[in-house]
A = this chain, B = another copy of it.
């Protein structure tokens, strides 16, 4: 069976196959891994903790089904400000940290050999959030702030250190580019094509650092250029 990489997170994960970082990974690893989507729009760490064993039920037959890697990408909803429009998605910072620890522990217990990669929430363009027609923000108070997202990103990096997991600090990485607000964010929170490209490249690099790449993983069946035009069936005889 082909090994798997799970993408676990909120809307930024759920939307990732819409010409985004998920479908780019699926294309890149098209003959190597199954990229499995487990994105839940709007969810925070408190909600997913309630259903973690329903999303990832333990498999009877041992670790056949253990994925090679899993990305854990939460925090954008947890970081909603506690007195704004999206307050019901807010999770206090300390609880977010504890929840991330619990999520990582769950995977480490279920799949000891699986690489768990944490991804911090992206930065927030507050002005763009204020223009979002789907969110009833009081005029000058966005429901998410960049400072809050930054605190959750920092906490995520800390948890990664404590759990010895690799982490992608997307909040910091994106803001290294001057035009990050327009270039990477479509509505001040979700990702543009370029923003998706950043996540794709960062995940690819992190996987490679941990020894997971096209160079190290077997392909599923011979590639076209490995097939001898003079005796095409030969390569299938093994």
Please list the residues of chain A having a beta carbon within 8 angstroms of any beta carbon in chain B.
Answer: 1, 14-15, 17-19, 22-23, 26-27, 30-31, 34, 36-37, 39-43, 46-47, 50-51, 54-55, 57, 60-61, 88-89, 220-221, 223-224, 227, 229-230, 232-233, 236
Q: A23-B19, A55-B220, A221-B54 are in contact. Are A14 and B30 (CB under 8 A)?
A: yes
* From A23, A43, A57, A88, residue with most partner B Cβ within 10 Å: A23
A220 to B57, CA, bound (A): 13
* From A1, A22, A37, A39, residue with most partner B Cβ within 10 Å: A37
Question: What are 18 A-B residue pairs whose CB atoms fall within 8 Å in the complex?
Answer: A15-B27, A17-B17, A17-B26, A17-B27, A17-B30, A18-B27, A23-B23, A23-B26, A26-B26, A34-B37, A41-B223, A46-B233, A47-B232, A54-B221, A55-B220, A55-B221, A88-B229, A88-B230
In the complex, which residues of chain B have a beta carbon less than 8 angstroms from the beta carbon of A221?
A: 40, 51, 54-55
In the complex, which residues of chain B have a beta carbon less than 8 angstroms from the beta carbon of A30?
A: 14-15, 17, 37, 39
A50 contacts B233, CB within 8 Å? yes
B1 contacts A57, CB within 8 Å? yes
A88 contacts B27, CB within 8 Å? no
In the complex, which residues of chain B have a beta carbon less than 8 angstroms from the beta carbon of A46?
A: 233
Q: A34-B37, A221-B54, A227-B42 are in contact. Are A233 and B1 (CB under 8 A)?
A: no
In the complex, which residues of chain B have a beta carbon less than 8 angstroms from the beta carbon of A47?
A: 227, 232-233, 236
In the complex, which residues of chain B have a beta carbon less than 8 angstroms from the beta carbon of A61?
A: 60-61
In the complex, which residues of chain B have a beta carbon less than 8 angstroms from the beta carbon of A26?
A: 17, 22-23, 26, 37
Give A13 Cβ to nearest chain B Cβ, in Å. Answer: 9
A23 to B25, CA, bound (A): 11
In the complex, which residues of chain B have a beta carbon less than 8 angstroms from the beta carbon of A224?
A: 41-43
Closest to A18 in B: B27
A36 contacts B39, CB within 8 Å? no
Closest to A17 in B: B26
Q: A23-B19, A42-B224 are in contact. Are A36 and B37 (CB under 8 A)?
A: no
Give A69 Cβ to nearest chain B Cβ, in Å. Answer: 17
